[in-house]
Structure 1
Amino acid sequence: MKKVKQNKTNNREAILNGSIPKTLFKLSWPIMVGNTMQVLYNLADTFWVGKLGADSVAAISVGFPLVFLLISIGGGMTIAGTTLVAQYTGSDDKEMADHVAGQIFTLVIFLSIIFGTTGFIFDRTILGWIGAPANIMADAVSYLDIIFAGVSFMFIFFVFTALLRGVGDTKTPMKMMIFSTVFNIILDPFIILGWGFFPRWECAVQQ
């Protein structure tokens, strides 16, 4: 804990008094690595789902606009949270920074429950509106059910990493993204292809 506080202090000093180009690079390179890990995360999913056939890839593709909508909403809240926390951190108002962080988390949990519940109930209807073919409907609904069931974790992760960036800590979110990507790459074939005792994804959908 002491080391974390010291790192935050050092980051704040660098932001306020350090060289601008050096500080920009120090803050930005972990974000670039984290974004690259996010791309690899999605590529790994697509690669293994592709082993199931074209219909499975199409099921994910037709559901992606809804997933992107969730990502956009979560991203908007992270930007707002980062901006406010960064402002109060820069003015050395720790109490308000903590208050804003708490309010953002409360809002995120509330909205994620609403979006998750609504999406879980109406995803089949929405897919029908956007013209999802009947042969991929079951797979698309199953995929979106998983996404909507976990939307609270997605939003909380977005906001948590954004708040860390708001106080100048861009390395911890990067490490979290690297860990989750590596874990996802290892776990994907077991869950999607049914390696070991896991059921094959398309079989689980049919059940």
Structure 2
Amino acid sequence: MKKKINNKTSLIAYLIANGISVPHYCYHNDLSIAGNCRVCLVELKNSMKPVVSCATNARVALQNSSVYHDSALVKKARENILEFLLLNHPLDCPICDQGGDCDLQDQSLFFGFTKRRFYKFKRIVSDKELGPIVKTVMTRCIHCTRCVRFAAEIAGTEELGVFGRGSASEIGTYIDKVLTTELSGNIIDLCPVGSFTSKKFSRQKLK
């Protein structure tokens, strides 16, 4: 049974509500739309290229076109986007705290990447000191900005942000500041790739 659509429902929310699996990293139902990861692409009939479903209004899309979420074009587009997301991602799944429960890992296994086309050396990003709760491994970050939007919209403290441009973009604090709010630990659960983990329960500390 199809769910009802209101004027603010995004296309990805409508598809998920109707049991259709759409990969996504930056989208979260309780946060504002960012459209950073681009993995939630879908195809609209008579459209020249795939569109980002999280930033597309469901009512408008369904009234004016047909939606294809698993076409050959969509699968190829998602594969290309995923390849760029993995461009600088470390190969540390066996020791990653998110390993086994990581959407990025699941998608990479689904598409079966076995070769490199665009790079020889991975970008290195220094870890950030964010206080006694959150441990960072910033080389894993895919800039989905879930943590930034959570800090600003839910926790009410704009302690995190994105600085730098293009390939030099990083998530961090603009000044030397730690996360001191009671809600800061929630960014550990929000992070889809294990860039933020718990200092107390870090797997890399286990002997």
Higher relative contact order (CA 8 A, sep 6+): 1
Richer in strand (by share): 2
Output the TM-score relative to the length of structure 2.
0.30
**Which is higher, the Rg of structure 1 or of structure 2?**
1
- Whichever structure has more helix as a proportion of its residues is 1
Question: TM (normalized to structure 1)?
Answer: 0.30
